[in-house]
Amino acid sequence: MSRLPLLLCVALFACESKKVDDAVNKVKDNTVVKKVDKALDELDVDEAKQHLSSAKEAIGKGLEAAEACSWAARIADDVVKDAVKDPLKELKRLCSFDAPLARATKAVSNAEQARAEQPEAPSLTECSSDDWSNMKRAIEGSPHSGEPRWTELKARWAKVCPVR
């Protein structure tokens, strides 16, 4: 959240005959401004934690965490306050790995269930899963492509849906 406009407004009101730079520095040193800045930091942390919590809940229920993930994608890592970095990092990991992994896992489970019901079928509709293809593309193109949970899931997929 950008606080510069707030600081500039306060500086302009505080500035009578002084330079704007002096007024801005005075405002930055003002304890009221520091309290407002601290309160805004706390709101940022609360917002990050709320998005993290809602993403965990949605992914746990097998739902999309679209709002939380789009919020995380909009946040640039270099402008984040230290207090927000850890929840944001965890949220970005959830969105870039855990969410696609959950959807891919569901596709594998569906294919395994279909294979159990039709062990001799030459092909299964479930093996043409768009979810599997899309999540595979998302994970393979990310830094998480070597994660053990992903490699295990790919092995399960290959077993139930071998390439012929």
Of 103, 100, 112, 114, the residue nearest 143 (C-alpha):
100
Is the confidence at residue 130, as pLDDT, over 50?
Answer: yes
Of 64, 87, 88, 58, the residue nearest 75 (C-alpha):
88
The share of the chain scoring above pLDDT 70, in percent, equals 70
Pick the residue with more confidence: 18 or 79? Answer: 79
Q: DSSP character for 19?
A: -
Alpha-carbon distance of 25 to 48, in angstroms, equals 29
Alpha-carbon distance of 49 to 55, in angstroms, equals 10
Q: Read off the pLDDT band of 1 (50, 70, 90).
A: very low
pLDDT tens-digit readout, 6-61: 555 655 555 454 566 666 666 556 665 555 555 445 556 778 888 888 989 988 88
Residue-number span of the structural domain to which 91 is assigned: 4-160
pLDDT of residue 139: 94
Say if pTM beats, i.e. exceeds, 0.85: no
Lowest mean pLDDT among 54-58, 62-66, 112-116, 129-133: 62-66
How high is the mean pLDDT of the chain? 80
Q: Is the torsion defined by CA of 47, 93, 63, 139 positive or negative?
A: positive
Is the confidence at residue 92, as pLDDT, over 80?
Answer: yes
Q: Read off the pLDDT band of 89 (50, 70, 90).
A: confident
pLDDT of residue 2: 59
Residue 87 CB: number of other CB atoms within 10 A?
A: 21
The total of structural domains in the chain comes to 1
SS3 of 13, please? helix
